[in-house]
């Protein structure tokens, strides 16, 4: 524990962003898609029906309803789990933390994507220093590299990972999606080398065109812990996430979760979902993000002829490489010009690897701001182009 406190402070990557800046750094949903009026109606309806009940520790019986609603939705996506294999959490982050807490000790090995979601990286580093980075390319995690590393470790008698943490669909930060073959390969490796797979599916429902089955839907051997969230498709401040996986692990997670729960938010979400045609909402969301993504990539073509990026098939992010750039330095100039992004280094365990990269988010800013933001960024990046 003391050792973890020597790590970089959490959230250190969040730069001081002046109010007037165009926000291409943040992984927040589009403000127009956050259902504030519907949530207000759900709060009113809940309190009118149940008075003080939802505000007690034990909360409203509607929190059971939320479980049923999420389980039904998972089933529609090919994930059939029982109630004992399912736990609602305070966002995907609590799910990741609980999994790390029950599965890891200081000697444990975790395989992570490189680059990966920086908060997951911070969480794992609270528990162990032994993270193995597996590179990501335009088709997601490079499973052949994972296989080589596992083979070599086994031959040398070194410990194998306790689990692999992966974001197979519309990854944060690269926006890439793992192919079907690679998904199959991950599961084969998990069986052969006896590790678990933590599948973070925070963006899984936000496909622009086609989507692949989740690893959990393909999992025949209860190896996958599927982590989900409503943050990116409803509202992050509601803090609703979940884990679907083997009952012993869910039982242990529930044990440690104790009262770190948000019964009020869960009941409000249940009422909101019961009164919403969510499939319809998702169609509108996907259209909005697809269009914003197109605006961003068109602006990049115009203003960044010498850079390269992956074109995402869903999610919130575009990952760009500016050869020869130091993107942390670039950020200082970009903020002065009124546009933000996240320097790539913060998504890597070995931070020096990421200095030529940056993450742009098309989710939060509107289309006009996106084009203007990329124009401004192109202007300050001229020195490198």
Ligand X SMILES: Cc1ncc(COP(=O)(O)O)c(C=O)c1O
Q: Which residues bind ligand X (CB under 6 A)?
A: 27, 91-93, 117, 167, 172, 200, 202, 229, 231, 236, 241
| C-beta of 116 vs 128, nearer to ligand X | 116
| C-beta of 208 vs 317, nearer to ligand X | 317
Shortest distance in whole angstroms from residue 326 CB to ligand X = 24
CA gap 136, 266 in Å, rounded? 35
| C-beta of 121 vs 196, nearer to ligand X | 121
Shortest distance in whole angstroms from residue 359 CB to ligand X = 10
Q: What residues pair up with 141 in beta bridges, in sequence order?
A: 136
Q: Which of 85, 83, 47, 91 is nearest to 65 (CA)?
A: 83
CA gap 156, 78 in Å, rounded? 38
Shortest distance in whole angstroms from residue 11 CB to ligand X = 12
How many residues belong to the chain?
Answer: 385
| C-beta of 187 vs 238, nearer to ligand X | 238
Neighbours of 166 (CB within 10 A): 28
CA gap 273, 180 in Å, rounded? 31
Q: Count CA atoms closer than 13 A to 57's CA, side-chain side.
A: 3
Q: Which of 369, 371, 367, 347 is nearest to 358 (CA)?
A: 347
Indicate the DSSP class of residue 312: -
Q: What residues pair up with 226 in beta bridges, in sequence order?
A: 199, 244
- Alpha carbon dihedral 131, 215, 69, 82, in 10-degree steps, equals -90
| C-beta of 150 vs 240, nearer to ligand X | 240
Shortest distance in whole angstroms from residue 123 CB to ligand X = 10
| C-beta of 127 vs 304, nearer to ligand X | 127
Shortest distance in whole angstroms from residue 117 CB to ligand X = 4
Indicate the DSSP class of residue 366: -
| C-beta of 304 vs 347, nearer to ligand X | 347
| C-beta of 93 vs 318, nearer to ligand X | 93
Whether residue 131 contacts residue 349, with contact meaning beta carbons closer than 8 Å, is answered with: yes
In 88-238, where does DSSP find H-type helix?
Answer: 91-103, 118-127, 143-155, 180-193, 215-218
Shortest distance in whole angstroms from residue 48 CB to ligand X = 28
Determine the residue with CB nearest ligand X: 91
Please state whether beta strands 357-361 and 342-343 pair in parallel, antiparallel, or not at all (unpaired): antiparallel
Shortest distance in whole angstroms from residue 324 CB to ligand X = 28
Shortest distance in whole angstroms from residue 281 CB to ligand X = 18
Whether residue 143 contacts residue 186, with contact meaning beta carbons closer than 8 Å, is answered with: yes
């Amino acid at each position: 524990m003391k050792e973890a406190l020597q790590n970089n402070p959490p959230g250190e990557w969040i730069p001081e962003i002046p109010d007037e800046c165009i926000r291409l750094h943040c992984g927040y949903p589009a403000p127009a898609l956050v259902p504030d009026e519907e949530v207000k109606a759900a709060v009113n309806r809940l309190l009118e029906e149940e008075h003080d009940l939802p505000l007690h520790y034990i909360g409203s019986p509607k929190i059971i309803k939320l479980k049923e609603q999420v389980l039904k939705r998972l089933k529609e996506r090919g994930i059939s789990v029982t109630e004992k294999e399912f736990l609602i959490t305070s966002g995907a982050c609590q799910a990741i933390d609980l999994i790390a807490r029950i599965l890891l000790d200081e000697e444990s090995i975790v395989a992570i994507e490189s680059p990966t979601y920086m908060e997951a990286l911070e969480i794992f580093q609270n528990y162990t220093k032994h993270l193995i980075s597996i590179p990501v390319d335009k088709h997601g995690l490079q499973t052949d590299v994972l296989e080589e590393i596992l083979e070599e470790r086994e031959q040398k008698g070194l410990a194998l990972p306790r689990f692999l943490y992966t974001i197979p669909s519309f990854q944060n930060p690269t926006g890439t999606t793992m192919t079907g073959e690679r998904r199959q390969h991950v599961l084969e490796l998990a069986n052969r080398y006896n590790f678990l797979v933590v599948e973070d599916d925070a963006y899984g429902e936000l496909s622009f065109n086609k989507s692949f089955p989740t690893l959990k839907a393909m999992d025949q051997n209860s190896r996958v812990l599927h982590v989900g969230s409503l943050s990116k498709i409803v509202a992050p401040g509601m803090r609703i996430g979940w884990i679907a996986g083997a009952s012993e692990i869910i039982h242990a997670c529930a044990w440690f979760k104790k009262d770190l729960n948000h019964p009020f938010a869960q009941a409000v979400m249940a009422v909101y979902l019961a009164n919403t045609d969510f499939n319809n909402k998702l169609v509108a969301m996907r259209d909005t993000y697809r269009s914003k993504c197109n605006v961003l990539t068109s602006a990049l073509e115009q203003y960044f002829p010498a850079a390269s990026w992956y074109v995402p098939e869903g999610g919130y992010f575009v990952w760009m490489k500016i050869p020869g750039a130091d993107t942390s330095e670039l950020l200082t100039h970009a903020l002065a010009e009124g546009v933000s992004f996240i320097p790539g280094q913060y998504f890597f365990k070995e931070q020096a690897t990421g200095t030529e990269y940056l993450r742009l988010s098309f989710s939060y800013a509107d289309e006009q701001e996106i084009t203007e933001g990329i124009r401004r960024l192109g202007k300050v990046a001229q020195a490198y182009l």
